Amino acid sequence: MINKKIKAVVFDAGGVITEWRQTIDAFLDELGVDFASFQKATEPDELLVYKGLMKTEDYYQRTMKRLGREEKWARLTEIIPANFTRIEATFNLLEELQGKVRLAMLTNAYDDSVDELDTKVNHKKYFELIIDSSVVGMMKPDKEIYLLTCQKLQLKPSQCLFVDDDLKNVEAAIKLGFNTVYFTEPEESVKLIRKILYESI
């Protein structure tokens, strides 16, 4: 029986529902570029693309230009999110929780990437609510997107369990009163989610 204090579980996408880092690392290995350099190259435009103010293709072009490999930008459109894989521990949990607790997804995403990802991993069917940063024009860890999620669910933060693999997003949720799980190793993180959901009141 689910802990009655928890009415909804709010999942992040990348790193919680799907594995993306292996895809990026393989691409960067081909280029001879380290992840830290890639991450630094993405930072100037991240806010714009996540808030739906920049097209994904422009974002990729600008990122790769900063790395001096502009000719490779189209390769990113081929592998993201097509080469992302399901985190099976999470999908097993989603199956288990169907009809037991409300499920939502809150993700920082590029335009159309949620739908594209769904064609690969078939994840949207599990969620009654999906908050996509590029659609709503807000992004984690800004408090407004967390509060919008609660508003749409008609729940308080204290009635939700928020799950994310980015520590700054988890810390922002804690400040707003959410129950949280910092998602690291999938099997252990899913065990922790289950413990919180099924613990006695």
Specify the pLDDT at position 201: 43
Angstrom distance (rounded) from CA 132 to CA 110: 8
Judged by phi (left if over 0) then psi (alpha if -120 to 50, else beta), residue 154 lies in: left
**Structure confidence by residue, pLDDT tens digits, 51-89:** 999 999 999 999 999 999 999 999 999 999 999 999 999
pTM, to two decimals: 0.95
Give me the residue spans of the domains in the chain.
Answer: 8-19+85-198, 21-79
The CATH class of 8-19+85-198 is alpha beta
Whether 198 contacts 3, CB under 8 Å: yes
Specify the pLDDT at position 4: 86
Cα end-to-end span (Å), the chain:
11
Angstrom distance (rounded) from CA 166 to CA 163: 9
| Residue ranges in the chain modelled with pLDDT below 70 | 200-201
Specify the pLDDT at position 1: 79
* CA quadruple 150, 174, 105, 91: dihedral, nearest 10: -140
Specify the pLDDT at position 102: 97
Specify the pLDDT at position 148: 98
Specify the pLDDT at position 2: 86
**Structure confidence by residue, pLDDT tens digits, 100-110:** 999 999 999 99
